[in-house]
Structure 1
């Protein structure tokens, strides 16, 4: 071949090959661009398969990754992006803000770091926000493909608290694992007003589970730290609900010591929600000397309808050492039920209950320390009532059904009314005019009437409760009362009143009384028969008001004294229902052969008819004494000072009485001083007849010798509520001192010498009681005591409290309690101590303030319904 032909052929081959290479390179370049665009823009790629079908591959990213920063650099070869200063990356609902962020597009990794100082310490955290929730980190790695992350020194807020962990791994949007995590509800730390929490719960391993409605922390061993100091409060594991909803779990007990029963755990329990309207608490009190007590409690509540609770206590109290004389063992029980109906639920039907039935020595032997600190152990009597009331829209009738139970712990006896039905007719006027104001005696006649039906038994021993003996002694009866009254004005200044009263009583039991010479006792026999009686009485009264003023002149310190007197006189009449013609009274001969009268209705539920004719005049004089004094502090220039708010003197004279026509004279006073700061109450009973005593006899005999006045009863009571505000005005320290403290000390004001200034409020309630009772005895009896109840705030965060009573007759201190409270910002700890007496005990507890943990982490349980609990 010729050289030119070979050269031409070679050129053509080279040219065609070059074109093919260019096409291949170009196609490869386009394919590379498409791959890059696929990574950045999530464009779908298409792959051709043997069957010529089209398959859509799964997207590598669900959204576009957006970024911005003050300084941004990309390394295309390494597929890296670097963001510096005010860096921000957004992906779906995740947004990351940091001082430095780097993105590895190949691995789908984002690394973020907070702002650091010259020493490499993070001074401003990186922040990730997802689903409206903010998380803070020193630095972290996030894979936006798998949505998993690992963070260091992470901080996140959950409910009312904050969690800080050395290392956090995000498995999914709802599950996190934390290493050495701290949880606290310290408000100062939460709001970053302080860099150190006053307390926290530390656990080496934590799992945080987040759901739509609630979240919870599940931990291994967890320990409470106070001011970074470890405490003995250690739990093997715990579940802390981060929700306002009720969660089941263990209730932490209080601890302490009672001298007679040993060391204790008081209130160890379990809390269990029961549906929407109920919950259950079960407590155990345990003492090292063997005493124990179980306390189940069910609470219920229906909004706008009703709420209440069932409570019970049962257990054994052991004192002393078995085998020794001081050893004792007693069983106790208590059953309680309270129910309250919302006033808006039904205005025509009301149901309420307050039931508390206990063993007779329950409070003397209680191992529930709350009964000691609440002073329930001082109860002498306890009443229980269940009541149903029905009203009608168009009828003037109110029907009330009740059941009542009254225990007397001193006598050990019980009174029961079961049931009792009252039908009351609303007051009405017999001759009320159709229009205008009622005038005169006739138009003012009003009638009150009703019917009462009752089953009643009194003086029941505990062993006889709800036995045949109790039912045999129960009385059944009914009472109808009709009362009429009217009044009018006479001679402009006098009020004249008339009234009449009728009682009709029916009962199923009467008594027969006689003297048995064999055993030298008066015997009372109950007769089961239907009987009844009717009584009636009438009265008339006249009343007016008199004023007197004594003026001292404008230059006198005392401007005037005003005396207001309200005298009234009344006439009362009732027949002698002790006459044999009525048949209400009978006679028997006592051990001395003296004919003695008694009523066949004695001891009945409605009492017995009065004996003796009443045609008496009664008087009452009510006095009010005040004075006006000059005062610069009052805007009017004068102020009123009460000398006597009331001074009442009352008595009577019975014309029909055969002897002792004058009644005893009653005097009572009530007043207050220092602008109602000191209250004084007193009462006195004076017998106008002479009482003589036979030689060697302590009980005297009343003789008809008028004019020998003697005090038979006298009581005097002082109530003095003292406080700081009485002696000095409260000043605004923030206006007087401009310098404020920081963080915890922000409640303090500081003077120029840098001394802290703060209020120290205090209260001191002083109650003094004196009583003298003679009752025809030669010497009589006295009671005299003083009680003190006080509080003192040493600082805005430290407070002391205490109360005590001193009996001047026995010369002993009665119930005494001392306590202190420390407000430690986000929690409080308190100490209560009864230092001596039968209920000597001390008790210590810690309580978190935050609602989320106030029932979960504490050393004493007092709440109605916990919002959360701690679970072992």
Structure 2
């Protein structure tokens, strides 16, 4: 019986098994072990049913679906009595050009070879046989892909639901039919979702065997897998031969992983690294990494050195969170000696903190509890805040909103905000970098402040906006200084008295602001008009002189020269008072650009100026005139100019400065002088973006999948930053040019710098160059430079990193497999005075 159709057929398999013979016994009430327990769906251009033989043959793009499995082939044969399914391609002839010849020859090719799909997994082969009674099967010349790798087998036999035997198996991440490299094994046993046992295992480059193992056991699970970390071998000028990164990685579940590794050095001992990550999506994420060694790798002293870094972020509920971060080191030169990351080595302060935050959006309240420590690695001093509590009530109307439909009154524009802050600060200062003596000072402070502000609901004269603000602050102290003299002419000394003390301060500010508009119509090309927006402000600031003894915050004494000296009892009390007028002008230049029928507004640049006059200041009543010019319209470049102009003559320390126009200076036109100038130009340009193949596109879910361990030897604080950032761009460059002139003090200082922070160039299809440098143009000196080359080797890649100058002199060569799961298959070569981490002098 033959029927040609393109339709789908859904048949109960039990009925199919019984429809050929009416005399077959009726099925039992329960299902038999050899019967399928669901529906089988199939289609084909031609399908034949042979009732006597109980055989079904599907031909022409045949497809069979069973549960989540799909089988496609040019021909599929089902033998119901034998419970077997055979899928195979059919031979076909084609004319192809003969290798090395211009004529064509007739060859036989197989068309429609079977493809088996189960969920996201796909298996291809020349011939497939499956027994759906015993669950066993066989695949001839089978091949499949899993997580970027390609598996092939001469013969694949399924010996059960969880066991697969492979003869003549191979594995590679190279997609070529003749791969550049592959692992080969004559016998393999695969325990599904468990492990793969192979013997022997041979690594081939092309057809040349390079490495051999008598047997090997590999994990056969998706995602992260526990196992031994492959070490790196190399040689250092100071430490001799070394073996780095020998350890174990443990991934018990999707929420936690940990690892430990050790480095052995021929001349200096060992260094241990450890790390752990944990993450629960939308709830918490963190890691702990560290290292310990009993060798100072630079100075040869047998001392124990260590570091620990902790990071934790947790969302307790939508309005509550906890953040923890901490750095702990054994000595102040740990990162300077052992890190190859330039920024980490130059960072001379370690900061650790833990912050608990809670907010109440409906009432505009928020609470923050913080514990922190800042340690200076150069001086050994530290500041601890144990704890610091802050409560903030965001700005809101003092008298509420006006009733619906009514007109706002003037008092509806009065707003208030409240802030409360309390902390205990412990400061420790070390007597010297080599001294163990230190002094400690403890301070307990609490303060709260109330800010009242008002924006005039209408405009004065129809164009002038008035806004006012009053800040009231009260500080509470648990101790204060008491200054005294033991005799009338003796020195002033102090003592600390404990108790409850309060300090009240306030300040007031009023600001007048408006906007002026100017319009020019030059009609220059696509530029139809240029608009100039001028925003002048005039503000008055008032704050009394809280150093006056009548406030009780300072104590005054007369020194031997008859000059009054005032001492602050609490620290940080404002002194001198402010009664100042401040003038500021903001200029914004915009352009109206017309392109065809489209027009758009473009911001060109801004120019901001400001100065002030303080009536209460004893000297320098007139503040410097400062201005800044910044471009906005260049998409790939930003230019900025900062300048400070002084109205005073330069004067030696201790002398009161004179106005430039004093002593006849006005006759010479001396009213203002340049005191400081800085010019900066940032250029960021790039070429066209290349389209990556689909298999190289980053996954949208990859960033949120699993924690993924980072060993300390691989973390940013140990390794230099990446030289190559974006391989999809044909080229890119980031260049900063800066010029600085400082004439505020004598002698004046000039600096000219050029910084090339990210230059990448695709030299050819496979070669890429990266360059970074910092140049001192005035001294004509190269402060720092880094040259990197990258070579694409198809399924492999090679990178050479070279720092030829400075303390960071080093070179590093690496050739490795691109695939993430085999990146440890690589060849490395380091060079440098401290070749252990690849930095330092190369000679």
Is this a same-fold pair by TM over 0.5? yes
Aligned match for 2:635, one of 676, 682, 687 = 676
Post-superposition offset of 1:822: 4.6
Per-residue CA distance 1:63-100 (angstroms, 9 max, x = gap): 9xxxx9x9x9xxxxxx9x9x99999999x999997999
Residue 475 (structure 1) aligns with = 443
CA distance in 1, matches of 2:277, 2:431: 28
1:318–1:329 contact (8 Å) kept in structure 2: yes
1:640-679 aligned at under 5 Å gives the runs 640=602, 642=604, 645-673=605-633, 675-679=634-638
Q: 2:169 maps to what in 1? A: 181
Q: In structure 2, what is the Cα distance between the partners aligned to 1:410 and 1:712? A: 32
Contact kept, 8 Å, 1:847 with 1:858, in 2: the verdict is: yes
- Spell out, residue by residue over 1:778-813, the C-alpha distance to the aligned partner (whole angstroms, 9 max, x if none): 334646342331122335554333322223356443
Provide the rounded CA distance (Å) in 2 between the counterparts of 1:546 and 1:349: 45
> What residue number does 1:333 align with?
306
> 2 CA distance for matches of 1:127 and 1:148?
17
Q: Give the equivalent residue in structure 2 for 1:687.
A: 646
Alignment of 1:187-586 (within 5 A): 189=175, 194-210=176-192, 214-220=193-199, 222=201, 224-225=203-204, 237-244=216-223, 246-252=224-230, 267-286=245-264, 289-290=267-268, 292-315=270-293, 318-319=296-297, 327=300, 331-342=304-315, 346-358=317-329, 359-367=331-339, 371=341, 375-392=343-360, 395-435=363-403, 439=408, 441-458=410-427, 460-461=429-430, 472-488=440-456, 489-511=459-481, 528-552=498-522, 554=523, 560-586=529-555
SS in 1 for 2:575: coil
Asked if the contact 1:483–1:502 (Cα under 8 Å) also holds between the matched residues in 2, the reply is yes
CA contact (8 A) 1:355 1:385 kept: yes
Q: How many residues align?
A: 732
CA drift of 1:153 comes to 4.2
* TM-score, scaled relative to structure 1: 0.69
Bigger proportion of residues as helix: 1
Shift of 1:262: 6.0
Change (3 A) 1:514 1:139: same
What SS does structure 1 have at the residue aligned with 2:402?
coil
Q: In the aligned structure 1, how far is the partner of 2:486 from the partner of 2:262?
A: 55
Give me the CA root mean square deviation. 5.4
Which protein has greater RCO, CA pairs closer than 8 Å, 6+ apart? Answer: 1
Distance in 1, Cα, partners of 2:521 & 2:133 = 97
- Secondary structure of residue in 1 paired with 2:622: coil
Q: Which runs of 5+ in 2 are unaligned?
A: 1-19, 26-31, 37-43, 94-104, 662-669, 697-726, 829-843
Aligned residue among 696, 704, 721 for 2:658:
704
Q: Secondary structure at the match of 2:220?
A: strand
- 8 Å Cα contact 1:350-1:388 kept in structure 2: yes
The 1-side partners of 2:33 and 2:449 are apart by 91
CA displacement at 1:160 relative to structure 2: 4.8
Name the CA distance, whole Å, in 1 between partners of 2:732 and 2:786: 16
SS, match of residue 690 in structure 1: coil
Query: How far apart in 2 are the matches of 1:60 and 1:568?
Result: 90
**Aligned-pair CA distance for 1:227:** 5.2
Aligned residues of 2:402 and 2:412 also touching (Cα < 8 A):
no
Query: In 2, are the aligned partners of 1:202 and 1:222 still within 8 Å (CA)?
Result: yes
Question: What is the CA deviation profile of residues 273-318 of structure 1, one whole-angstrom value per residue up to 9, with x for unaligned ones?
Answer: 2445222122334555537443322211223322222222333564
Distance in 2 separating the partners of 1:401 and 1:265: 45
Q: Cα deviation per residue 1:349-369 (whole Å; 9 max; x = unaligned)?
A: 2222233334432321225x5
C-alpha distance in structure 1 between counterparts of 2:146 and 2:504, whole Å: 74
What is the alpha-carbon distance in structure 1 between the residues aligned to residue 682 and residue 312 of structure 2? 34
Residue 586 of structure 2 corresponds to residue 598 of structure 1: no
Tell me, which stretches of 5 or more residues in structure 1 are unaligned?
Answer: 1-39, 46-58, 73-78, 321-325, 603-607, 694-698, 735-740, 745-757, 861-872
**Higher Cα radius of gyration:** 1
Given that 2:431 and 2:438 are in contact with CA atoms closer than 8 Å, whether structure 1 keeps it comes out as: no
CA shift in 2, pair 1:395/1:151, >3 Å = closer
- Secondary structure of the corresponding residue to residue 619 of structure 2: coil
Deviation at 1:422, TM superposition (A): 0.6
